[in-house]
Amino acid sequence: MRKLKISSLFRFLSPFSIVFSISFVLIASVFNVHYDADIDLSFVNKTYDSIQQNTIKLASGAADSAENIKSRFYVFAEEIRPEDKDEEDELYENLYSDSENDVSSSGLYDFMINGNFVYMSQHDPRWKDMGVKAGDSIDIYGCGPASVAMIANTLTGIDTNPYKVAELMYPKGLYSPSAGSNHAIMTDGLAHFSIKSSGFYDYSPDAIISELEKGNFFAVLTKKGLFTNSTGHFIVLAGLDKDGKVIIADSNSLANSQKSWDIETILSQAKYSAGSGGPFWLIQGLAGM
């Protein structure tokens, strides 16, 4: 019987043994384990458990990252806070109690903030229950379209409302039913109405006050805090009062819209992780003017 030379055997096995050895070392280094020549079933079980745990962690991390990324570009669900609802209802009732229109049947009617800015509420009975798709409603998701509608009504005189704006923005990818508005609604969305809007990056009180003194407006994305319980909420800086404080149009709160605010408070509530040029967008009127 011929003896198989060791050198021949080595030449035959070496490609496979080298690949196996390298693979094994890599796997061991990834999972930070020590290994011996004798591998038992416990090592396999530990490796399997480690893979499972790391997979769960990766999946969880990916979900968190996706949510964080989405929050940079979209405004989520919004509604009147339970503690504010009674105050809001009373304000609505008092505001229109002298009107010849019946609020309960005709809905709330637009009024001016600071003498020239059209205010619209996302909770207005005329459109609050309307939505682009099933499950969607302006009442909860409409701060973006409501803010755009207010600005468009004020600057162009066009007859639009939050629901019409949401319906218009949906095919453009600027409004997502049952999710909210893409932050770009304050640039691309306003551009649909030929309104000049751009990100404003000087976050100093003097710079913002200076623009408001010129008669310009700002759209502002606010974080969870004074103006919202959600991950983000649009308000509009509509002008200044006689004392130089900021007058806002908050589609989610009539009460907020009837107060004056320190610019420092507004700055403290802005969501600086906003995308599309936010959290401050300077509104300078109509394009070409």
Determine the 3-state secondary structure of 240 from DSSP: strand
Q: Is the pLDDT of residue 182 over 80?
A: yes
**The total number of residues written for the chain in this structure:** 289
pLDDT in tens, 150-176: 999 999 999 899 999 999 999 999 999
Span 252-268, average pLDDT: 95
Span 55-69, average pLDDT: 48
Span 243-265, average pLDDT: 95
d(CA 56, CA 72): 25
8 versus 248: which is more confidently predicted?
A: 248
| pLDDT value of position 288 | 77
User: 123: closest CA among 157, 81, 156, 152?
Assistant: 81
| pLDDT value of position 49 | 55
DSSP state of 18: H
pLDDT in tens, 30-40: 444 333 334 44
| pLDDT value of position 19 | 45
Judge whether 138 and 128 are in contact, CB under 8 Å: yes
Please, what are the domains in the chain?
A: 84-286 (3.90.70.10)
Quickly tell me which residue has 């100093």 as its tokens: 204
Identify the band that residue 105 occupies on the pLDDT scale cut at 50, 70 and 90.
very low
Determine the 3-state secondary structure of 195 from DSSP: strand
d(CA 36, CA 151): 72
pTM, full prediction: 0.71
pLDDT in tens, 109-154: 567 888 899 999 998 888 999 999 999 999 999 999 999 999 999 9
| pLDDT value of position 168 | 98
| pLDDT value of position 9 | 43
List of E strands, the chain: 111-113, 117-119, 175-176, 180-181, 195-199, 217-222, 233-240, 246-249, 260-261, 280-286
pLDDT in tens, 12-35: 444 544 444 545 444 444 444 333
